[in-house]
């Protein structure tokens, strides 16, 4: 094949589509292009991207100015060592520090995704304590449920049973507490030994593991006090909920707390480039610099073209007032879903903040009863929605949330698309419940 020809897509390939999936047997959806709030498939279907891919897309797809900025950057500077400075890195750092981050977070470094950012935050916490002379501190406390990424350290800190499944022996023995109880955080620090606990990590709004579970009012204020008392760093994971997704620049602002370390990825570049970020207070990083401890970079961290793309994405969010729009359209989405699904037998809750909205799926509401894992209820609902040309993101898969949907559409979603989404979600839940009833994979409350 001439090198200028595009590679054959799964829709047109001479090979079976299974060739394009790492695990045999999966047939990937063949996508031809993305535009506005839609994904267009190789066979011409226009799918409403109500999951924003993996809750990433915020300014909508296909904004030329982002592609042009990335292309111009790539033409001028392809690869530059991450610790060195390029105009794109300087511009993005300035924008993030000056216009986005909560007061007090004055240090930023960019990596190439969410897992790299949370993994770096865990490493940063350890380095901070070692540098400050507290080298017995290494443990991390996480929550059930939570998700912080797929590296072994972040998987260990995370509380997503399904994603941890099979890897347990390789995971550091980090402790976890219930997601909604600040007193449990202190009890666990004391049980683990405050002299050994380096950090507590939490998502303000729990994404894939929780289906947009929102931490209780006052939760982060109490947790911040507890962490401070025991010299434990508070790491807030906003890989999914940050950069406007929850209707404020960062979700943690809604609790009036500044963490020691904040990580945020997805929305930073809105899906246009592989980028994540780690942000910290001066007090966290200063001892590391003083002690001259290593803090190694990743080869593809802060790629200049990715920084250029992210800078334009953030500028668009600012210029078009899209964070305020996420708050407004999020309220509308919850209202429409609540009226569509009120008293639905298989929906226990509709919740979230801004355009990060979860729908808790159950076998029965009263009494609350999950479908057995074998019914694969979430998976079925997602497939039913996709068959109706709407992409919604699967969530749950552990304790205490077994089945849920996560909606994270672009902030540009329209009112008509919200109506379409609510109608399709209802029809998809109904169809999945009927299919489970037909094939008997739910033996019922007494089964
Ligand atoms: N942290 C949270 C809260 C996430 O939602 C995710 C991904 O969904 C990650 C970390 C990992 O990010 P990535 O998939 O970019 O590695």
Strands 213-214 and 46-49: unpaired
Closest CA to ligand 1's atom 1:
148
State yes or no: pLDDT of 399 exceeds 80: yes
Going from the Cα of 207 to the center of ligand 1, the distance in angstroms, rounded, reads 9
d(CA 380, CA 428): 8
State yes or no: pLDDT of 210 exceeds 70: yes
The reply to whether ligand 1 has any atom less than 6 angstroms from the CB of 220 is: no
State yes or no: pLDDT of 5 exceeds 50: no
Going from the Cα of 142 to the center of ligand 1, the distance in angstroms, rounded, reads 15
The reply to whether ligand 1 has any atom less than 6 angstroms from the CB of 118 is: yes
Q: What percent of the chain has pLDDT over 90?
A: 90
The reply to whether ligand 1 has any atom less than 6 angstroms from the CB of 100 is: no
Pocket test for ligand 1, best of 121, 142, 147, 150 (most atoms within 8 A of CB): 147
- Residue among 58, 36, 51 at smallest CA distance from 408: 51
Q: What is the pLDDT of residue 126?
A: 98
d(CA 134, CA 215): 30
- Mean pLDDT for all residues in the chain: 95
Residue 393: C-alpha distances to residues 91, 244, 284, 359, 383 (Å): 33, 19, 35, 11, 10
State yes or no: pLDDT of 13 exceeds 80: no
Arithmetic mean of pLDDT, 358-383: 97
State yes or no: pLDDT of 12 exceeds 60: no
pLDDT (tens digit per residue) in 232-249: 999 999 999 999 999 999
The terminus-to-terminus CA distance of the chain in angstroms comes to 58
- Residue among 442, 247, 243, 230 at smallest CA distance from 352: 247
Q: What is the pTM of this model?
A: 0.96
Which pLDDT band holds residue 295 (cuts at 50, 70, 90)?
Answer: confident
Q: What is the pLDDT of residue 50?
A: 99
The reply to whether ligand 1 has any atom less than 6 angstroms from the CB of 267 is: no
Arithmetic mean of pLDDT, 25-34: 92
Going from the Cα of 381 to the center of ligand 1, the distance in angstroms, rounded, reads 22
d(CA 195, CA 137): 6
């Amino acid at each position: 094949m001439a090198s200028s020809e595009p590679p054959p897509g799964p829709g047109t390939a001479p090979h079976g589509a299974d060739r394009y999936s790492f695990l045999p047997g999966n047939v990937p959806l063949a996508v031809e292009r993305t535009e506005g709030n839609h994904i267009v498939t190789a066979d011409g279907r226009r799918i409403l991207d109500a999951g924003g891919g993996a809750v990433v897309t915020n300014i909508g797809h296909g904004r030329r100015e982002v592609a042009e900025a990335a292309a111009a950057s790539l033409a001028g500077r392809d690869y530059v060592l991450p610790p060195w400075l390029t105009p794109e890195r300087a511009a993005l750092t300035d924008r993030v520090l000056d216009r986005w981050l909560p007061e007090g977070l004055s240090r930023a470094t960019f990596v190439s995704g969410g897992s790299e950012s949370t993994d770096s935050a865990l490493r940063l916490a350890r380095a901070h304590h070692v540098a400050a002379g507290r080298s017995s501190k290494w443990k991390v406390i996480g929550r059930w449920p939570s998700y912080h990424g797929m590296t072994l350290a972040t998987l260990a800190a995370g509380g997503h049973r399904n994603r941890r499944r099979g890897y347990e022996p390789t995971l550091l023995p980090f402790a976890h507490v219930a997601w909604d109880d600040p007193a449990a955080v202190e009890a666990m620090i004391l049980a683990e030994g405050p002299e050994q606990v380096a950090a507590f990590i939490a998502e303000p709004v729990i994404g894939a593991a929780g289906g947009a579970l929102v931490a209780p009012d006052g939760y982060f204020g109490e947790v911040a006090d507890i962490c401070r008392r025991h010299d434990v760093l508070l790491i807030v994971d906003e890989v999914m909920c940050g950069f406007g997704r929850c209707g404020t620049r960062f979700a943690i602002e809604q609790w009036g707390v500044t963490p020691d370390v904040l990580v945020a990825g997805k929305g930073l570049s809105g899906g246009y480039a592989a980028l994540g970020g780690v942000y910290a207070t001066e007090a966290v990083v200063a001892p590391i610099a003083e002690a001259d401890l290593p803090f190694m970079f990743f080869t593809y961290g802060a790629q200049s073209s990715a920084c250029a793309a992210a800078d334009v994405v953030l500028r668009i969010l600012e210029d078009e007032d899209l964070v305020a729009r996420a708050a407004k359209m999020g309220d509308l989405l919850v209202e429409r879903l609540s009226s569509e699904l009120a008293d639905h037998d298989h929906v226990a809750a509709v919740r979230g903040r801004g355009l990060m909205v979860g729908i808790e799926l159950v076998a029965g509401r009263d009494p609350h009863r999950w479908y057995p894992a074998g019914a694969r209820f979430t998976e079925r609902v997602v497939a039913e929605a996709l068959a109706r040309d709407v992409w919604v993101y699967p969530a749950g898969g552990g304790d205490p949330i077994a089945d849920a949907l996560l909606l994270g559409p672009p902030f540009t979603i329209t009112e008509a698309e919200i109506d379409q989404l609510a109608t399709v979600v209802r029809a998809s839940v109904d169809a999945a419940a009927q299919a489970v009833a037909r094939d008997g994979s739910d033996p019922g409350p007494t089964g």
